[in-house]
Amino acid sequence: MSKLWGGRFTKTAEEWVDEFGASIGFDQNLVEEDIQGSLAHVKMLGKCGIVSEEEAETITKGLQTLLERARKGELEYSVQNEDIHLNIEKFLIDEIGPVGGKLHTGRSRNDQVATDMHLYLRKQIEEISSEIKNLQGALLEQAKQHVETIIPGYTHLQRAQPVSFAHHLLAYFWMLERDFSRYQDGLKRVNISPLGAGALAGTTFPIDRHYSAELLGFDGIYENSLDAVSDRDFIIEFLASSATLMMHLSRLCEEIILWSSQEFRFIELDDTFATGSSIMPQKKNPDMAELIRGKTGRVYGSLFSLLTILKGLPLAYNKDMQEDKEGMFDAVTTVKGSLKIFTGMISSMTVRTDVMEKAVHSDFSNATELADYLASRGMPFRDAHEVVGKLVLHCIQKDMFLLDLPFADYKEASELFEEDIYDVLQPKTVVARRNSAGGTGFEQVKIAIEKAEKLV
């Protein structure tokens, strides 16, 4: 079978060469977008008189038939036809005859594939954005139940200061809100049309690019035909946003893995999101969290791969750019799957408030409160820091905590201490008093929840 572009050639490639060069194995994912773009293109051709109304109608009906068959999984793609564009064109010609060959008037596969990817990413970003909101909703629901549940806060993975568990969860809510914002901002660059830019230089036919862009729901067109067919910034931006999102998910994965360990026991994951061991009957492994943490590397890899592919490419289209799709498809699958799993994992996890309560009464995370206490009574904070440090050391040597320390020891350390110090050191008091804007104080957390609810 000769190629649709084979007129200039006297030899055909061997089958293994065709297989190496073909992209149909993965770009068939773009079949609906490819047909949608073609429907808009032929309607524009008919409007501009480049094909007759009858021809436009015949081609349109043929494309609609192919779209239905594609959705039913009835199309059998051929490596011989290389990519989704030539496969669809061949199907169309077989369906309606030679008039199907007029569809490609005034365009190239270069602007066609770019159009397909713009349409594809627009749809996927909308779906990913919806999944982000679902996960934010799950975090928010848990936060609403645990405003006054206190958990040790950490720096360097060492106990630092007690915080509201809701406050901790809401930190990820706001990370996800930035992720959502990045995707939405990226839509501005996704939602522009390269259709009609041709191979690189435009076309001699009197096409109306603005009309086809309007039909496809784009906000505008690329103003330069060279840029239109060679731009992959919008995919890089999508992958960068996805890499940042996955980084945020991976950080929460790490905390979930720690929290569900025997050493922490702060939470227990639902059985749906855990697995067992083939040899150790007692095990309950947080495999889904671990897997998402691992899959983050796939998305990073897709971003770096595309950046590397594009580095040093001259204008306009080069075959290297065929490698832009698999990483994009993989990132979409990875991100959507990770978000769905995470929403279920957060919604169904059991929070062990009793273990958290015990933890914050068995550490020195209230030590800063002592330093603040002394500073509020006139002692320079640096001096207060040293006084409290020595008290902590004294407690460690005596195998006790600050709430266990006799009042005489406090008085010996500083005359500024009063009997109210034991109330001040209570974890609930420590958290409640941190009422600065954005802080972990219960009133601030309630304000944050109100703001978050409006966003979800």
In the numeric block, the tokens 């569809």 are attached to 103
C-alpha distance from residue 300 to each of 112, 132, 147, 165, 295 (Å): 27, 19, 35, 30, 9
CA 260 to chain centre: 24
Non-local CB neighbours of 364 within 8 Å, separated by 6+ positions = 159, 392, 395, 401, 402
Cα–Cα distance measured from residue 86 to residue 329, given in angstroms and rounded to the nearest whole number: 20
Query: What is the rounded (10 degree) CA torsion for 193, 198, 200, 202?
Result: -90
Q: Of 342, 247, 242, 229, which Cα lies nearest the Cα of 289?
A: 342
How many other C-beta atoms lie within 10 A of the C-beta of residue 282? 7
For the full predicted model, state whether its pTM sits above 0.85: yes
- The backbone torsions φ and ψ at residue 35, rounded to the nearest 5 degrees and listed phi first, read -70, -40
Please identify, in words, the CATH class of the domain defined by 110-199+222-358. Answer: mainly alpha
- The one catalytic residue among 156, 241, 261, 436: 156
C-alpha distance from residue 290 to each of 214, 285, 294, 332 (Å): 44, 9, 6, 19
Non-local CB neighbours of 8 within 8 Å, separated by 6+ positions = none
Rounded to 10 deg, the angle between the 109-145 and 325-348 helix axes is 10
Check residue 17 and give its pLDDT.
74
Cα–Cα distance measured from residue 42 to residue 20, given in angstroms and rounded to the nearest whole number: 31
Cα–Cα distance measured from residue 346 to residue 340, given in angstroms and rounded to the nearest whole number: 10
Where are the chain's structural domains? 6-105, 110-199+222-358, 367-425
Q: Of 361, 364, 381, which Cα lies nearest the Cα of 373?
A: 381
156 in active site: yes
- The one catalytic residue among 52, 181, 277, 376: 277
Q: Of 66, 70, 94, 78, which Cα lies nearest the Cα of 22?
A: 78
Pairing state of beta strands 267-268 and 350-351? Answer: antiparallel
pLDDT digits (tens, 9 = 90+) for 87-105: 999 999 999 999 999 999 9
327 exposed, middle or buried (CB, 10 Å; 0-12, 13-18, 19+)? Answer: buried
Amino acid identity for residue 16 in this structure: W
Q: Of 78, 70, 86, which Cα lies nearest the Cα of 32?
A: 70
Fold of 367-425: Ribonucleotide Reductase Protein R1; domain 1 (1.10.40)
Superfamily of domain 6-105: Fumarase/aspartase (N-terminal domain) (1.10.275.10)
C-alpha gyration radius of the chain:
31
Is the Cβ–Cβ distance between 81 and 6 less than 8 Å? no
Structure tokens at 208: 């109306």
Query: What is the rounded (10 degree) CA torsion for 13, 16, 20, 24?
Result: 90
Cα–Cα distance measured from residue 259 to residue 268, given in angstroms and rounded to the nearest whole number: 8
Check residue 3 and give its pLDDT.
65
Residues of the chain with pLDDT under 70: 1-6, 10, 18
